[in-house]
Chains A and B, each alone.
Chain A
Amino acid sequence: MTDEVGRSISVPAEVRRIVTLAPDLTETVYALGLENRLAGDTDYCDTPPAAKAKPHVGTTINPSLEAIVSLHPDLVLATTSINRRETVESLAQLGIAVYTSNPHTVRGMLDSIRRMADAMGAPSDGEALSAHLQQRLDALATRLKDQPPAHVLFVVWTDPLISIGQNTFIADALRWAGAESVILSKQNWPRVSLEEVARLQPEYIVVVEDATRPGGEEADLQARPQWKQIRAVETGHVVPIDDQMERPSPGLIDAIETLARELHPEAFAGGNASADSSAVAARRGRKVMLCAL
């Protein structure tokens, strides 16, 4: 079969042992219910927590090839968003099948899940998961269809200020959440000046949550004098979001839904708390921060 970067790989008929080289891939394997086939993952794979107990092969950038070999994998999963080309090539040279995913959009990610499940010999699980996630997305889209998209600035890093480009995965995810990034850039991680942000005056600032200091993001920005000129900061329109938003994994859908709720509460008013959202909170066991609007 051919993987998502165009490499043709030959996967054994029975895939019993899998090694993943990125946290979002580990998450996908768990979401597909194939965790008992997972022979090893990286040091950084912590979602779900059970993944931490699996044997580790090292970092995502430079995993130990020997450790991978020692686990006798039938298939190794890699992704262009985190792993190096050289790792994949070295593994291929050793005769180990490597599937590299290359998701650019949310739909692409769903497709990726299907294809990966296919490679792992569990196409029905892939179909089921993918269809389920697609359904959630469609439901969300219906809710939001009459809502104008919120103009947001997605902050990847504050010093220096780095946002996202139009072609990134995150930009696409934002769109599904009923938001539009105000930064129109072809670069993937453009550096933006505060003046530009002041000129654009986005309605909301979306910041990745700092797990060590929950709730501190808004205060953090407000404490910076230059950021006061940004209306969204002054009025407290700062939305912290889980870092799931940055990763192409099933948990992304949760993050999208959460963000959609924050930005367009009117679309969700009227009861009908979907079973999904409580399942979201329960499954992830994290507190979802709602900011004061």
Chain B
Amino acid sequence: MRPLTPSRVVWVCAALAGALFVMVVIALRLGAYPISARDIVMTLFDGVMGRRDRIPSDFWLVVFGLRLPRIALGILVGAALSTAGAGFQALLRNPLADPYVLGIASGAALGSMLSLMLAPQVPGATQVAAFIGAAATTAVVYFLGRRGGQLDSATLLLAGIITASFLSAAIMFLETMLSGRDQRGMAFWLLGDLTAPPSVGLRWLYLVLIVVVGCIYTTAADLNLILTGEQEARHLGVHVNRVKLVVYLGASLLTGLAVSVGGAIGYVGLLVPHVMRMLFGTDYRLLIPASALGGAIAILLADTLARTVVAPTELPVGAMTALAGAPVFIYLMRRRVR
């Protein structure tokens, strides 16, 4: 028997980080603007050294203004969604759970819709409103999802589905009141969009990501036990209710964050944890960091494909994840029938 050791976790994460690095390099290199690898490296180097004046303004725009922010946002969103997905799958005791099953994306969509209707001129308001919508949905589902004062997986799932349906209905109703331009914007947002600059600085978002993933990680060993049975976990000394609350809040926060800045990109939160399980096992002490890194890789891959496959036309990244996700999903389902 080979139990999970810290060094195995480190090695796997290093390998995944390496793959992520390769993906970043590819994403930097590809794009509609013709710029050679050498020029990219020079631009990066000069940029990092603070010698901005030596870089042609176009190169600066493309590398630092367009590609790097998009890559950074993609990594953030991918890591957040995948970690949240892994968390929800454990919390809800359901392998089909994804970050949106509890209605958080619908809440965010409603929030941004309301902000478009009420305060269209304020830049960045839609993202903040989306996050507030997500947070509000989290709170509502929490209170609906309790049983005997504690979070109950089955009740939570039901509460989430009902809330999501209700919010979707509200969205459909309000959609008719939006102007044409906003309707288009909304429809596009629902498919995921990594081009919009986040209204809060990216570094703060990354800070939140790392802190929250860290918090969820502290419950990783407990989650392993909870997955073999809640009562059993209690009798082995796990504070089940506390763990569930931490995971619920953490995963919801990550989802709200990802959706506010990137729209509702689907399939990543559902599939990346499963793929990581197939590759590295079901132990959450490895699964959580692996999902985060794997999600970042997946989103980068999807986004890069989306903007290069039929250049200069850009496909929405959510369409790409769906196209790739569906066959992967089918493959996974067939494998489970052992």
Contact = CB atoms under 8 A, between A and B. Distances in A.
Interface of A: 6, 43, 56-59, 61-67, 69-70, 72, 80-87, 89-90, 93-95, 187-189
Interface stretch (B15-23, B188-196, B208-216): B188-196
Contacts of B195: 62, 65, 86-87, 90
B314 A59 contact: yes
A69 B197 contact: no
Interface string B174-186: 0011011110110
7 contacts: A6-B121, A62-B193, A62-B313, A64-B311, A86-B185, A86-B188, A93-B65
Contacts of B314: 58-59, 62-64
A43 B313 contact: yes
Contact of B179 (A63, A65, A67, A188): A188
B184 A65 contact: no
B181 A69 contact: no
B181 A81 contact: yes
Contact of B185 (A63, A69, A84): A84
Given A69-B62, A87-B195, A95-B61, 18 more contacts: A56-B312, A62-B314, A62-B316, A63-B314, A64-B307, A65-B195, A67-B312, A69-B58, A72-B58, A83-B181, A84-B185, A84-B188, A85-B181, A85-B185, A86-B195, A86-B196, A94-B61, A188-B179
Interface of B: 31-34, 58, 61-62, 65-67, 121, 123, 176-177, 179-182, 184-185, 188, 193, 195-197, 307, 311-316
A57 B312 CA distance: 6
Contacts of A94: 61, 65-66
A95 B65 CA distance: 10
B250 to A, nearest CB: 29
Contacts of A69: 33, 58, 61-62, 66
B127 to A, nearest CB: 10
Contact of B176 (A6, A66, A70, A187): A187
A70 B33 contact: yes
A80 B181 contact: yes
Contacts of A59: 313-314
A62 B317 CA distance: 11
B53 to A, nearest CB: 15
A80 B116 CA distance: 14
Contact of A70 (B32, B193, B313): B32
A72 B195 CA distance: 19
Contacts of A57: 312
Contacts of A85: 181-182, 185
B118 to A, nearest CB: 15
Contacts of B196: 86, 89-90
A67 B311 CA distance: 9
Contacts of B312: 56-58, 63-64, 66-67
**Residue from the set B177, B179, B195, B307 with the largest chain A CB neighbour count within 10 Å:** B195
B313 A65 contact: no
Contacts of A93: 65, 197
A64 B123 CA distance: 21
A66 B185 contact: no
For the complex of A and B, list the 7 residue pairs with the smallest distance between their C-beta atoms, beginning with the closest.
A66-B32, A67-B312, A66-B33, A64-B312, A67-B32, A70-B33, A58-B312
Interface centre among A56, A83, A84, A188 (most CB of B within 10 A): A84
A67 B179 CA distance: 28
B40 to A, nearest CB: 13
Contacts of A58: 312-314
A69 B67 CA distance: 12
A78 to B, nearest CB: 10
Contact of B123 (A43, A82, A89, A187): A89
A70 B66 CA distance: 12
A206 to B, nearest CB: 20
B181 A66 contact: no
B161 to A, nearest CB: 28
Given A43-B313, A58-B313, A65 B188 contact: no
A41 to B, nearest CB: 11
Given A84-B188, A90-B197, A189-B180, A66 B123 contact: no
Contacts of B67: 66
B193 to A, nearest CB: 7
A86 B58 CA distance: 21
Contacts of A70: 32-34, 58, 62
A198 B307 CA distance: 48
A90 B33 CA distance: 16
A89 B94 CA distance: 40
A51 to B, nearest CB: 16
A275 B78 CA distance: 61
A56 B182 CA distance: 24
A61 B184 contact: yes
Nearest to B124: A89
A80 B183 CA distance: 11
B139 to A, nearest CB: 28
Nearest to A80: B181
Nearest to A83: B181
